[in-house]
Amino acid sequence: MDHRGTIIRPPSEADSILLQVTLGCSHNRCAFCGAYLDKPFAIKDPAAVRRDLDFASAHCARQRRLFLCDGDALVLPQSRLLALLADIRARLPWVTRVGSYARAAGLARKSDADLAALRDAGLGIVYMGLESGDDAVLSSMNKGETAALIVEQGRRARAAGIKLNVTILNGLGGVAGSLAHARATADALSAMQPDQIAALSLMLIPGTPLHARHRQGGFTLPDSLGILRELREMIAHLDLPRALFLANHASNYLPLKVRLPSGKASALEQLDQAIAGLTPLRPEGMRRL
């Protein structure tokens, strides 16, 4: 496969065919993100994508899912996306679901009919980065989108029948804004009603603006107990009729897998135990992005 630069994919796409159709992210200015520092955004040549489909057709018959890389595949024109999904269906008929990252700004450029057409063509899931429901935090991190826009576009994706997985970042509000970040994020998630939530703990990546800000004293990352208190506040304020809340990424101090709403009380109890020092946390040396 013609994979150029660092390939980033969601943990749940670990066994998927990784078909790179764009390079990097069309925004690529979030202060915390170091995912695509190695390449500028570009749309890959269709001939290169076709060669990768040839390879997948010959060698990937056991993989039932396919993920469109890199960070903003849905920025492709609608006609090209539909042609690509048709190619995948024709040449990899065993693939049961196609997934992609999605920015709210990109989804906003597509009509409801466009989203329904993508669903019908095989797009089964999108992964959106909310990061925070606090607009002050999003602005300070140069997210380029408001919480309201992200919520609206996530709801549109779900209304079109596309599964919605939303990522949030514990610690993104710093020490001073921790609880406000937690409550606003819970409110945004409750309004968006995603199928699945992935909670990561912020790790400062060298080369990013946020890392530089931290070194200059302009941002203080909560410690492990601060992150756990923030996560507890967030879960306590969630109002979701049905969702899977995952905080089991390698960056998290306390792995959690919570079925909401039935598992909420148990998750809060686990967090209380950890905050009280009765449950061991993942050692710093074992935490990774």
Return the CATH number at 181: 3.30.750.200
- Residue 277 dihedral angles phi and psi, to the nearest 5°: 85, 15
* 282 and 239 belong to one structural domain: yes
* 160 and 38 belong to one structural domain: no
Q: Which of 100, 139, 106, 80 is nearest to 27 (CA)?
A: 106
Residue 75 is part of a domain; what is its CATH number? Answer: 3.30.750
From 101, 117, 150, the end of a domain falls on 101
Tell me if 113 is assigned to some domain: no
Tell me if 119 is assigned to some domain: no
- Residue 76 dihedral angles phi and psi, to the nearest 5°: -60, 145
Which positions ≥6 away from 3 have C-beta within 8 Å? 18, 20, 69
Contact between 15 and 73 (Cβ < 8 Å): no
* 63 and 142 belong to one structural domain: no
Q: State residue 38's pLDDT score.
A: 85
Tell me if 110 is assigned to some domain: no
* 69 and 152 belong to one structural domain: no
* 284 and 184 belong to one structural domain: yes
Q: State residue 241's pLDDT score.
A: 94
* 150 and 61 belong to one structural domain: no
Tell me if 70 is assigned to some domain: yes
Tell me if 180 is assigned to some domain: yes
* 81 and 134 belong to one structural domain: no
Total tally of structural domains belonging to the chain = 2
* 88 and 2 belong to one structural domain: yes
Q: State residue 41's pLDDT score.
A: 92
* 144 and 252 belong to one structural domain: yes
Tell me if 114 is assigned to some domain: no
* 152 and 263 belong to one structural domain: yes
- Residue 52 dihedral angles phi and psi, to the nearest 5°: -70, -35
- Residue 3 dihedral angles phi and psi, to the nearest 5°: -95, 120
List the domain range (segments joined by +) for residue 143: 128-289
* 193 and 92 belong to one structural domain: no
Q: State residue 289's pLDDT score.
A: 65
From 84, 101, 118, the end of a domain falls on 101
| Alpha carbon distances (Å) from 238 to 49, 134, 226, 232, 244 | 41, 15, 19, 10, 12
Using only C-alpha atoms, what is the Rg of the chain?
19
Tell me if 82 is assigned to some domain: yes
Tell me if 166 is assigned to some domain: yes
* 208 and 273 belong to one structural domain: yes
Q: State residue 204's pLDDT score.
A: 96
Q: Mean pLDDT, 10 residues at a time, over the chain (289 residues)?
A: 91 95 94 92 94 97 97 92 97 98 95 98 98 98 98 98 98 97 98 98 96 97 97 98 94 95 97 96 80
